Structure 1
């Protein structure tokens, strides 16, 4: 297959490092310096910080997206709106798969006429630099049809790109798929960012544990999901990734824009009565604002 991957972050590099072994892949990145580094060095995959392999996909800038058999969107939530505008110029029969945290992007991608799918990433990965990605924990990619997506074609796509070492599977319900992922992200990400701790402290620090449990109750209530099942998911992920730094914690430490709007911000919009969630949401906004002000000095 001829596959496009948009985004040179941890997930884009990880996806590229696996599917390039069997498919013709083009990786689209935002910055010229990352493009040049990838052209020189390729994508370098590490597993638990040990070098695994080097692959050399085609490299281009996001502004030059062209036709592929399918296109994976691996950018973060704040970039989705601009990207949707770019995608309006590519052929409307090209399948597009969105792999974002949270659910804030759903409204933005409704306007696309393409066969559209969403997915969640259950792998742990960290970008070491512009060309290196560290695979920290193996999981799977789970996709689901969205709006105008075709389930039969989605199954064909999953079958074509599935690998035993990098599995894909198809889910029946995109809303449940994303909601379960949102619960995990809306609890672990902001709390680890606020307290500047690794994921495992959600369980190991009794005070953070108490806040996490209450926050999980609020988020799962807003999404009308079973609280105990949701808490089990949070605990499982926090335990499996206990030494990892969450993406939001990494963004706050680097003074980057976070995905809080698509996580706790999304919950605040659909149910403003969840007061702890709203406090967490505002606290992350305050933290990132402080970082911007400090960085500007």
Structure 2
């Protein structure tokens, strides 16, 4: 298997799949990280403190990765355009599995011609400590759905399944992506603005009320989520990942561009097409954009 992107989620997936004896090859943005991964492998620090080491291959050059393998695309949305040409150059028979936050990437993927394209959403908690070390903060469910299929021989995704990497196979890619986007929209902007861990959204009564009001507002624009996502699910995710810093907050801490556009911006645009206004979400969106423009981590 080939994993494009060695951030928190990319490293986590590679480690968990390596434990299942899958051969993993990474495509990284820097030669330094590729060299570190080849020489040192991945170290996964589990919730109990136990460390698991996995050997992997890693390159910057796409030409050194096998094309007769599943390609897992685990880069952030705003990096997809950087790898567009490389994905177009892959054989049409190479299956692709995309893992991005938000919903903006669905439209971007439509340009690709591969015969099998899948979408996944991941609810694991993970923190990248350094180029080769990932801290696994909580096991969550991974949902996988076909997005584009022009072949009669789909990939057997059950080969990815394990007790640590539990997968639910569903048919509606849009539904699982919308569900994850709304979960992220309820949690990430607030934690980023208030500079708090996920669990504080439950224990801080004002943050809790803000999150609840935001969920109710989103529900008015996207009533179809009622059958697959309730506020209890949002609370449960906050509790399960209580000590975690959201990915958006981690971006702020590391002075990186946040994913406010593909997560929140895309939801706001979609709501506009339905003649729905989301004033609370719009306010949070502008606040995070202001943080991005300021370009400095919290002191």
Q: Same fold (TM over 0.5)?
A: yes
3-state secondary structure, aligned to 1:268: helix
Partner of 1:173: 172
Q: 1:56 to 1:149 in 2, by over 3 A?
A: farther
Deviates more, 1:87-96 or 1:162-171: 162-171
Q: 1:241 to 1:113 in 2, by over 3 A?
A: same
Q: 1:191, 1:294 → 2: CA distance? A: 14
3-state secondary structure, aligned to 1:271: helix
3-state secondary structure, aligned to 1:164: coil
* 8 Å Cα contact 1:183/1:234 also seen in 2: no
Q: Map of 1:1-297 to 2, 5 A cutoff? A: 3-21=1-19, 22-48=21-47, 50-61=49-60, 63-64=62-63, 66-114=66-114, 115-148=116-149, 153-154=154-155, 156=156, 158-226=157-225, 229-272=229-272, 273-291=277-295
Q: 2:49, 2:101 → 1: CA distance? A: 27
* 8 Å Cα contact 1:6/1:12 also seen in 2: yes
* 8 Å Cα contact 1:25/1:58 also seen in 2: yes
Q: 1:149 to 1:262 in 2, by over 3 A?
A: farther
How far 1:39 sits from its partner (Å)? Answer: 2.1
3-state secondary structure, aligned to 2:104: coil
Q: 1:197, 1:90 → 2: CA distance? A: 41
Q: Deviations over 1:202-241 (max 9, x none)?
A: 1211111111112112223323334594312211101111
* 8 Å Cα contact 2:103/2:267 also seen in 1: no
Q: Unmatched 5+ residue regions in structure 1?
A: none
How far 1:42 sits from its partner (Å)? Answer: 0.9
RMSD of aligned C-alpha atoms? 2.1
**TM-score w.r.t. length of structure 1:** 0.91
* 8 Å Cα contact 1:28/1:62 also seen in 2: yes
* 8 Å Cα contact 2:76/2:259 also seen in 1: yes
**TM-score w.r.t. length of structure 2:** 0.91
Q: Unmatched 5+ residue regions in structure 2?
A: none
How far 1:53 sits from its partner (Å)? Answer: 1.7
3-state secondary structure, aligned to 1:282: helix
Q: 1:286 to 1:180 in 2, by over 3 A?
A: same
How far 1:169 sits from its partner (Å)? Answer: 2.7
Matched residues, number: 291
Q: 1:286 to 1:151 in 2, by over 3 A?
A: farther
* 8 Å Cα contact 1:43/1:55 also seen in 2: yes
Q: 1:117 to 1:285 in 2, by over 3 A?
A: same
How far 1:137 sits from its partner (Å)? Answer: 0.6
